[in-house]
Amino acid sequence: MSRVFWDTNLWIYLLEGRGALADRVAALRERMQERRDQMFTSAFTLGEILVKPIERGDEALAARYTRVIQATAIVVPFSAEAAPSYARIRLDRSIRPPDAIQLACAATAEIDLFITNDERLSRKTVPGINFVASLDRSFL
């Protein structure tokens, strides 16, 4: 059993459910369930996922997305505990602030595997996260 953090883009693929990336993420989720891995994401992810439904005035969809994420994953807050990790991550100016928030939340939760579809992040080493991998290179 591993502690696996999903970046926002994986949730978008899963929830919107279209195309090869959605199929890849659904297969990844199934494999995680077979292994009994723990799923994590951040409150930042939840906020990002809600932008489009709220923009369209679709409160029912926003509520559905919220229910799915909260039922599927442990939602890690961006807290004062994560702030020092965020600051250390941001010393690498190639990492954008939203990505640093995600990585800091994952590091605070002591994640085994952080999965993203952002190839730039997959080359980063972050204390508190054992591996950062792209969706194409995830180990599961």
Q: What is the pLDDT of residues 55-101, one digit of tens each?
A: 999 999 999 999 999 999 999 999 999 999 999 999 999 999 999 99
| CA–CA distance, 6 with 117 (Å, rounded to integer) | 10
- CATH for 7: 3.40.50.1010
Q: Is the pLDDT of residue 51 over 80?
A: yes
* Strand runs labelled E in 10-61: 38-42
Question: Is the CB of residue 53 less than 8 Å from the CB of residue 19?
Answer: no
In order, the DSSP letters of 54-107 are: HHTT-HHHHHHHHHHHHHHSEEE---TTTHHHHHHHHTSTTS-HHHHHHHHHHH
What is the Cα Rg of the chain in Å?
14
Q: Give the closest residue to 29 by CA, choosing from 72, 61, 65.
A: 72
**Mean confidence (pLDDT) of the chain:** 94
Q: Which domain holds residue 80?
A: 3-137
pLDDT given at position 138: 60
In total, how many domains does the chain have?
1
Residue range 121-130: average pLDDT?
92
- Which one-letter DSSP state was computed for residue 37? P
Q: Is the pLDDT of residue 19 over 90?
A: no
Residue range 112-139: average pLDDT?
89
Under the banding of pLDDT at 50, 70 and 90, the label for residue 140 is low
Tokens representing residue 61 in the block = 């969809």
Rounded percentage of the chain residues whose pLDDT exceeds 90 = 86
23 in helix, strand or coil? helix
Rounded percentage of the chain residues whose pLDDT exceeds 70 = 98
